[in-house]
């Protein structure tokens, strides 16, 4: 009788997926770099080595950027005719992939690859449909650390089943790999993916536009602010080891410095993965300063893993807050308008309750020191109102410490 009961319990847990993915991965939002936003399929061995070198020399590695991820276009147009394995494009990667993975690892970084749940990738290369376990074994043999798994060419395929199959294949291959579900939020992965992967896309593709979208006719790339709006209501699904992913960063790809700073700040407030998408080898000093602001990154990487939320919204000025470890808080004053906006925020009149995670910011009971995370300066405490001018499309981001 006891054996039968134990068998039933095991079946229940396996059906729920609790034994499915690797434990202990991505306990804070993953940080790294991805090739797609800037290079699309124009990638090579030389590019990867140059990016890896720059991640180290620029200080990005020391700031927490760990994963170097090759997106679509790394493989040849056909699988190996004898084994069925994926084949790295011999022109782009003449030395094969394992040598390149080893080079990235030698820099103290981790390596990621891309594929797709469909029959072909978004750029028309071989997809994984029907090859899940074989591809997982191939990735394990390379020693990669991260897999981005897209959702093109998937007519008639059930998203939950497809991603669950790939997750099980990665686990069966025996090599821990962070699993990034790039399903675009179409099938609401936040409802079912916690035990499937470590992060899941909540929206379609991002573009280097602050507001609005980039229209391609049959599909649209969304701007930074529309993507922020789409995150509202999803924070209850995120936490250590399972993150909402509003897509990669467009910092350094054509927006203004103010807009880049706002973009980065909001991704940190949202506890979003920080995956840079610019050409690191050519980034400006302003871009580097934004991407390597360790004080802002610390908000993103806070070990509580609580996603921030919009507390207040008036006249294009939004106030976002995020509970942090040791009962500290982060606050971000976001100006979405075309003109500067004055902030006059009286902490003692604003009792902020995070009812979802049972956290309260009450300046009448506790005085907090205020540090501006972009100017790297102390700005008094919560005994007095915060009075400042926020430029157009910019933020004031502060940390409140007990």
pLDDT of residue 20: 84
pLDDT of residue 144: 98
Could you list the active site residues? 150, 205
* C-alpha to C-alpha distance for 331 and 333, rounded to whole angstroms: 7
Is the confidence at residue 220, as pLDDT, over 80? yes
Superfamily of domain 309-401: Golgi alpha-mannosidase II (2.60.40.1180)
pLDDT of residue 14: 44
pLDDT confidence bin for 379, thresholds 50/70/90: very high
Is the confidence at residue 13, as pLDDT, over 60? no
- Tens of pLDDT, residues 274-287: 999 999 999 999 99
* Residue 205: closest CA among 192, 194, 216, 197: 216
pTM of the model: 0.95
| Sequence spans of domains, the chain | 20-300, 309-401
Is the confidence at residue 11, as pLDDT, over 80? no
pLDDT of residue 17: 40
Residue 167's contacts (CB-CB under 8 Å, 6 or more residues apart) are 20, 21, 179, 196, 197
Mean pLDDT across the stretch 308-329? 97
Is the confidence at residue 4, as pLDDT, over 60? no
Higher pLDDT: 181 or 2? It is 181
pLDDT of residue 288: 98
Mean pLDDT across the stretch 220-237? 97
Is the confidence at residue 8, as pLDDT, over 80? no
* C-alpha to C-alpha distance for 89 and 96, rounded to whole angstroms: 8
- For domain 20-300, which CATH number applies: 3.20.20.70, 3.30.750.24, 1.10.286.10, 3.50.50.60? 3.20.20.70
Helix (H, G, I), strand (E, B) or coil at 362: coil
pLDDT confidence bin for 124, thresholds 50/70/90: very high
Residue 261's contacts (CB-CB under 8 Å, 6 or more residues apart) are 290, 374, 394, 395
The token duo for 58 is 């620029």
Mean pLDDT across the stretch 196-223? 95
pLDDT confidence bin for 117, thresholds 50/70/90: very high
pLDDT confidence bin for 219, thresholds 50/70/90: confident
Mean pLDDT across the stretch 146-167? 98
CB–CB of 233/356 below 8 Å?
no
- Tens of pLDDT, residues 62-88: 999 999 999 999 999 999 999 999 999
Average pLDDT score over the chain = 95
User: What percent of the chain clears pLDDT 90, i.e. is strictly above it?
Assistant: 93
Mean pLDDT across the stretch 334-363? 97
* C-alpha to C-alpha distance for 8 and 21, rounded to whole angstroms: 20
* C-alpha to C-alpha distance for 65 and 367, rounded to whole angstroms: 34
């Amino acid at each position: 009788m006891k054996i039968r009961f134990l068998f039933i319990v095991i079946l229940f847990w396996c059906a729920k997926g609790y034994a499915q993915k690797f434990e202990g991965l991505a306990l804070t939002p993953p940080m790294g770099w991805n090739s797609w936003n800037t290079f699309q399929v124009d990638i090579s061995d030389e590019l990867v080595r140059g990016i890896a070198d720059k991640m180290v020399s620029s200080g990005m590695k020391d700031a927490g950027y760990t994963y170097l991820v090759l997106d679509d276009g790394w493989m040849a147009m056909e699988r190996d005719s004898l084994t069925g394995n994926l084949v790295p494009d011999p022109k782009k990667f003449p030395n094969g992939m394992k040598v390149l993975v080893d080079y990235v690892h030698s820099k103290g970084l981790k390596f990621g690859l891309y594929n797709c749940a469909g029959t072909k990738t978004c750029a028309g290369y071989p997809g994984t449909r029907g090859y899940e376990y074989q591809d997982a074994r191939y990735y394990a043999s390379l020693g990669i650390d991260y897999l981005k798994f897209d959702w093109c060419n998937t007519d008639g395929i059930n998203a939950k089943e497809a991603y669950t199959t790939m997750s099980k294949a990665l686990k069966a291959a025996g090599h821990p790999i962070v699993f990034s579900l790039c399903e675009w939020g179409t099938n609401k992965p936040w409802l079912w993916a916690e035990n499937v992967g470590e992060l899941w896309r909540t929206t379609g593709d991002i573009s280097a536009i602050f507001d609005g979208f980039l229209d391609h006719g049959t599909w649209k790339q969304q701007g930074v602010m529309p993507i922020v709006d789409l995150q509202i209501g999803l924070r209850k699904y995120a936490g250590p080891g399972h993150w909402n992913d509003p897509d990669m960063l467009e910092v350094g790809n054509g927006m203004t410095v103010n807009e880049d700073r706002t973009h980065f700040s909001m991704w940190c407030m949202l506890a979003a993965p920080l995956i840079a998408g610019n050409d690191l080898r050519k980034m400006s000093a302003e871009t580097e300063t934004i991407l390597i602001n360790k004080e802002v990154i610390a908000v993103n990487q806070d070990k509580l893993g609580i996603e921030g939320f919009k507390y207040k919204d008036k006249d294009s000025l939004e106030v976002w807050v995020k509970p942090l470890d040791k009962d500290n808080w982060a606050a971000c004053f976001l100006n979405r308008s075309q003109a500067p906006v004055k902030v006059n925020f009286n902490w003692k009149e604003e009792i902020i309750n995070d009812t979802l995670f049972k956290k309260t910011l009450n300046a009448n009971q506790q005085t907090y020191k205020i540090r501006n995370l972009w100017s790297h300066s102390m700005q008094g405490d919560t005994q007095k109102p915060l009075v400042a001018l926020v430029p157009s499309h910019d933020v004031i981001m502060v940390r409140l410490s007990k």
